[in-house]
Chain A
């Protein structure tokens, strides 16, 4: 294994409570030593990365991505998706199971993890809760966990039946996995393609009410409450409404193990950004009202939001060049999450850098139980992002590493330019190769 020295940078490791100039020695895929500048003892003869003026932080963890393999390699592959992740500073990505076929089996989970997939950062499969994500028959979570699954979800196909959801929560709790719910009552969102409100009326589009999200969140919290003894862990994916966030806040006050993530597009954009049928502003859950967006920002700043996750959802150009109602949901996000979070949460809204990075690394790593990730304490995995926190740059989707270009952030100003991303001691991304 190679050895690397990252010298002269500012180490920001919120999980370890460190924010100081440090040199770091990486060896055999792990963090071997951390010392004051120039004081490393163990390192000799290793390659040196000069991080002067740069921040050195734990590699980012995205707990919600769609890598499209198996089955939809024209949108993204595990190789291109992880290359995009590395370019965005991510060293761990949790892949949702809505592939073709659905990842509901040990075989598919293992296939995704095979070296032939060409992943450049670590992929953590999330297994389907039910057979084919049809919401009926629960999968064997113990077997899926031992094959490598880190969480359970029927993302994109919410579990509507109370009994099935209760059983899923209980069974996942028994094997120590969290259940990630895509909270959408699809009985209320038939044919809908954006948020329900004055904008949807004006555009003549059927709308998804905030209630279609919050009612499922509230139902799930009820189920977790009933299962209190089992310590079931419910995680709400891509929380998009004030009402859903309020329900999570309330559940936490009552001591429930209920967590949530928010995507950058939901804390930055509103339904107004749909503009005149921009299909790159179409996702599920949809961009919501300004009041919802403001509540999400508030939730991030006051700590009720546990993680920032991208919901990276690549689609081919031709799939988005269609009538708004017919366009698939989702946008890519791996290459913009850090730049947008630093630009807005840190610079504009004054959230301390360490807290922003924690939402992008330590906290999601903890939610998924990824041991030795999301921190750079000695002995942890050598998953590192080195970035220039002051650099402003313009994101050009066409220059991205992802196979797809579907993003509303093309041409936006980002802050914080990734210099290197290191996955288990290997350079997975180098901005000046």
Chain B
């Protein structure tokens, strides 16, 4: 045997990767990639329609149907808005959290899910500290599962509400986002017609007042800043926004933003210099440093602030017309200053408000599919 020979690279046929069986249930929302363009449009439309609907009428949509919230991690916005969304549609909700349930006694996710199903839950909303847990829960229960954040992986409803927030500030004629409040109020009453068809008619509106397509956000640049490595919000957004034509810039230090993040999908690039990234952006999404997931990683917070904190001066100099988003919880004085969080370019509280509308649409979608019994 001749070991000194240079190995010959041959083109070999190798075993193919089998197609994914997920989602098992058409009502599930596990990954933002589960949604087709039409599915995205439908959720955005239903969010607007449900938000504008008479609350008493809306209560009949899911009257007395059962939705379970299963939360293995603490949460303020996501949990409350999912709960308000389900209740707003008339559903009964029950919250199971890891600290006040048999999970503490060692019950597995599978058994917890099966128990909730036996109790009559027709859909489960899951927040969990392990990446991929929503897939496990769906495959074991075969119920519609709504991923409310799985570890460092995905947070699809957050990406949807971020998209709704961006669209609300988006001017399709100039292809820019605008923080101006008047524009916002106007767009609330009469959703921006992106498909070029006639304007929305009344609160019910046409089928897709928010019909989105691969060009909808063409020309828009969204910069996501900070702890990308540990962020499920970043992952869902970087997969979603380029599908609508936006360019996503990831910005942060190598320890929190590995080079291979740019390979996660099309339309993603990395810019280490915050101000260079800001200057190109119509929307800036700030992230919290996730101390609970750093796993021994040392981050010099003072240096981080110097390079990546969004303060008024930086914003005014490099992106005076951009909107500022943050999925929360925000740490004032760390990733952004109080002045920016409370300033005119901040849309952080609108994001929270949009969360309820988006989650109503997503819960409705799950429960309608549940009623039809899902896929065989």
Given known A-B contacts A190-B296, A198-B264, A269-B15, A203 and B20 have beta carbons under 8 A apart: no
- With a cutoff of 8 Å between Cβ atoms, the chain B residues found around residue A275 in the complex are 17-18, 20
- Is there an interface contact between B260 and A201, defined as CB atoms closer than 8 Å? yes
Bound: A408/B68 CA distance, A: 32
B105 at the interface (CB under 8 A from A): no
Choice from B135, B140, B232 contacting A277 with Cβ under 8 Å: B135
Which 7 residue pairs of A and B lie closest in terms of their CB atoms, listed nearest first?
A204-B153, A277-B132, A204-B152, A323-B130, A204-B131, A198-B263, A303-B1
A326 (CB) vs chain B CBs: closest residue: B130
- Is there an interface contact between B7 and A191, defined as CB atoms closer than 8 Å? no
Bound: A326/B109 CA distance, A: 11
Give 1 or 0 for each of B1-38: 1 = CB within 8 Å of chain A CB: 10111011110111101101010000000100000000
- Is there an interface contact between B258 and A201, defined as CB atoms closer than 8 Å? yes
Q: Provide the main secondary structure of the chain A interface.
A: helix
What is the number of residues of chain B that contact chain A, defined by CB distance less than 8 Å? 43
- With a cutoff of 8 Å between Cβ atoms, the chain B residues found around residue A318 in the complex are 108
B136 at the interface (CB under 8 A from A): yes
Given known A-B contacts A321-B110, A324-B132, A191 and B13 have beta carbons under 8 A apart: no
Q: Tell me, rounded to whole Å, the shortest Cβ–Cβ distance linking A408 to chain B.
A: 9
Q: Tell me, rounded to whole Å, the shortest Cβ–Cβ distance linking B335 to chain A.
A: 20
Q: Provide the main secondary structure of the chain B interface.
A: loop
- Is there an interface contact between A322 and B12, defined as CB atoms closer than 8 Å? no
Bound: A204/B110 CA distance, A: 21
Choice from A294, A299, A302 contacting B5 with Cβ under 8 Å: A302
Q: Tell me, rounded to whole Å, the shortest Cβ–Cβ distance linking A195 to chain B.
A: 11
Bound: A254/B150 CA distance, A: 49
- With a cutoff of 8 Å between Cβ atoms, the chain A residues found around residue B17 in the complex are 270, 272-273, 275
Choice from B3, B136, B263 contacting A303 with Cβ under 8 Å: B3
Q: Tell me, rounded to whole Å, the shortest Cβ–Cβ distance linking A49 to chain B.
A: 33
- Is there an interface contact between B12 and A294, defined as CB atoms closer than 8 Å? yes
- Is there an interface contact between B130 and A324, defined as CB atoms closer than 8 Å? yes
Bound: A270/B140 CA distance, A: 25
B261 at the interface (CB under 8 A from A): yes
- With a cutoff of 8 Å between Cβ atoms, the chain A residues found around residue B1 in the complex are 302-303
Residues of A156-205 at the interface with B, using a CB-CB cut-off of 8 Å, are: 190-191, 197-198, 201-205
- Is there an interface contact between B5 and A276, defined as CB atoms closer than 8 Å? no
Bound: A201/B258 CA distance, A: 9
- Is there an interface contact between B153 and A203, defined as CB atoms closer than 8 Å? yes
Binding site for B on A (CB under 8 A): 190-191, 197-198, 201-206, 249, 252-253, 268-270, 272-273, 275-277, 290, 293-295, 297-299, 302-304, 318, 321-326, 344, 348-349, 412
- Is there an interface contact between B14 and A268, defined as CB atoms closer than 8 Å? yes
- With a cutoff of 8 Å between Cβ atoms, the chain A residues found around residue B209 in the complex are none
Bound: A277/B133 CA distance, A: 9
- Is there an interface contact between A348 and B131, defined as CB atoms closer than 8 Å? no
- Is there an interface contact between B151 and A325, defined as CB atoms closer than 8 Å? yes
- Is there an interface contact between B3 and A204, defined as CB atoms closer than 8 Å? no
Binding site for A on B (CB under 8 A): 1, 3-5, 7-10, 12-15, 17-18, 20, 22, 30, 108-110, 128, 130-133, 135-136, 140, 150-154, 229, 232, 235, 258, 260-261, 263-264, 295-296
Q: Other than the known A268-B14, A322-B109, A323-B130, what 14 A-B pairs have Cβ atoms closer than 8 Å?
A: A191-B295, A201-B258, A203-B132, A203-B153, A204-B151, A204-B235, A206-B295, A249-B3, A273-B18, A298-B7, A298-B8, A321-B110, A323-B131, A326-B130
Bound: A203/B135 CA distance, A: 12
B17 (CB) vs chain A CBs: closest residue: A272
List 22 A–B pairs whose Cβ atoms lie within 8 Å, in order of A's numbering.
Answer: A190-B296, A197-B260, A198-B263, A203-B132, A204-B131, A204-B150, A253-B4, A273-B18, A275-B17, A275-B18, A277-B136, A290-B14, A302-B8, A304-B3, A321-B108, A321-B110, A322-B108, A322-B109, A324-B130, A324-B136, A325-B130, A344-B15
- With a cutoff of 8 Å between Cβ atoms, the chain A residues found around residue B229 in the complex are 201
- Is there an interface contact between A203 and B131, defined as CB atoms closer than 8 Å? yes
A303 (CB) vs chain B CBs: closest residue: B1
Given known A-B contacts A293-B14, A298-B7, A349-B12, A322 and B132 have beta carbons under 8 A apart: no
Q: Tell me, rounded to whole Å, the shortest Cβ–Cβ distance linking A432 to chain B.
A: 29
- With a cutoff of 8 Å between Cβ atoms, the chain B residues found around residue A253 in the complex are 3-4
- Is there an interface contact between A348 and B13, defined as CB atoms closer than 8 Å? yes
Q: Tell me, rounded to whole Å, the shortest Cβ–Cβ distance linking B71 to chain A.
A: 15
- Is there an interface contact between B14 and A321, defined as CB atoms closer than 8 Å? no
Choice from A205, A270, A294, A302 contacting B131 with Cβ under 8 Å: A205
Bound: A205/B131 CA distance, A: 7
Q: Tell me, rounded to whole Å, the shortest Cβ–Cβ distance linking A139 to chain B.
A: 32
Bound: A323/B152 CA distance, A: 13
B132 (CB) vs chain A CBs: closest residue: A277
Report which residue of B9, B13, B15 has the largest number of chain A beta carbons within 10 angstroms of its beta carbon.
Answer: B15
- Is there an interface contact between B152 and A322, defined as CB atoms closer than 8 Å? no
Bound: A70/B22 CA distance, A: 39
